[in-house]
Structure 1
Amino acid sequence: MAKSMLIISRQAPWSGPSAREALDIALAGGAFDLPLAMLFLDDGVLQLAPAQQPDAVQQKNLAANLQALPLFGVDELFACQRSLARRGMPSEGLEPAMTVLDDAELQALIARFDQVVTL
C-alpha cells in the first residue's frame, strides 16, 4: 500500500517557485492515485485569495492549478484558520472548497499522514 502524504504549502503565490512546486507535486501524486492531501498554512493561504493579478508581477496564474486539484483526486484540502485570520481572509467561501482547521485539528491532521512535505 502506498504511504499517505500531506503537502504543506507555506509560501505566498508570487514569492518564488515553492507555491507552484507544491501544487505540481499534489497534481502529479493525484494523477497516480497516491493518498495525499494539501494544507495551506502561513503565507500559503494567500494562494486562496480571489482575483489575483499575476500578470502584474510577470507570473502565471495558479488559480487553474488550484481548481484542478479535485479533478486529479486531491479531495482533502485544508487551510489554517489562524493563518487566514492573520491575513484578514474569510474562512468561508474558499475556492476550491476546503476544510478550515484550528491549531488542535492541524496537529491531528499532520499526525495522520505517513509523510509530510513542506514547501
Structure 2
Amino acid sequence: MAKSMLIISRQAPWAGPAAREALDIALAGGAYDLPLAMLFLDDGVYQLLDDQAPDAVQQKNLAANLQALPLFGVEEVFVCSASLAQRGLAQSGLALPAQALADAQLRELLARFDLVVTL
C-alpha cells in the first residue's frame, strides 16, 4: 500500500522556487495515484489568491497548476485559518476551494499522513 503524503507549502508564490516545487511534487504524486493532500500555511496562502500578477516579476502563473490539482487526484486542499487571518485574507477570496483549519485541526491533519514534506 502506498504511503500517504501531505505537502505543506509555506512560501509566497514568487519568493523563490519552493511554491512551484510543492505544486510539481503534488502533481507528480497525483499522477502516480499516491494518496496526498496539500496544506497552504504562512505566506503559502498567497498562492491561493485569485489576483496574481506573475508578469510583474517575470514569472509564470501558478494558477494553472493549482487548478490542475483535482485533475491529478489531489482533492484534499487545506489552508491555515490563522495564516489567512494574520494576512487579512478571506477564504472566500481564494482561487481554489480549500478547507480552512484551526491550529488544533492542523495537528490532527499532520497525524493522518505517513510522510510530510514542507517547502
2:98 aligned residue: 98
Give CA deviations for 1:10-60 in whole Å, capped at 9, x if unaligned. 000000000000000000000000000000000000001111110000000
Cα distance in structure 2, aligned partners of 1:94 and 1:52? 11
Cα distance in structure 1, aligned partners of 2:100 and 2:110? 14
What TM-score, normalized by structure 2, do the two folds share? 0.98
Of residues 91-100 and 25-34 in structure 1, the stretch that sits farther from structure 2 once superposed is: 91-100
Q: CA deviation at 1:95?
A: 2.4
Q: Is 1:25 aligned to residue 25 of structure 2?
A: yes
Q: Which runs of 5+ in 1 are unaligned?
A: none
Cα distance in structure 2, aligned partners of 1:6 and 1:93? 23
The number of equivalent residue pairs is 119
Cα distance in structure 1, aligned partners of 2:23 and 2:104? 25
Contact kept? 2:8, 2:117, Cα under 8 Å:
yes
Cα distance in structure 2, aligned partners of 1:89 and 1:64? 21
Cα distance in structure 1, aligned partners of 2:115 and 2:36? 9
CA RMSD of superposed structures (Å): 0.8
**Local SS of the residue matching 2:92:** coil
Q: CA deviation at 1:94?
A: 2.5
What TM-score, normalized by structure 1, do the two folds share? 0.98
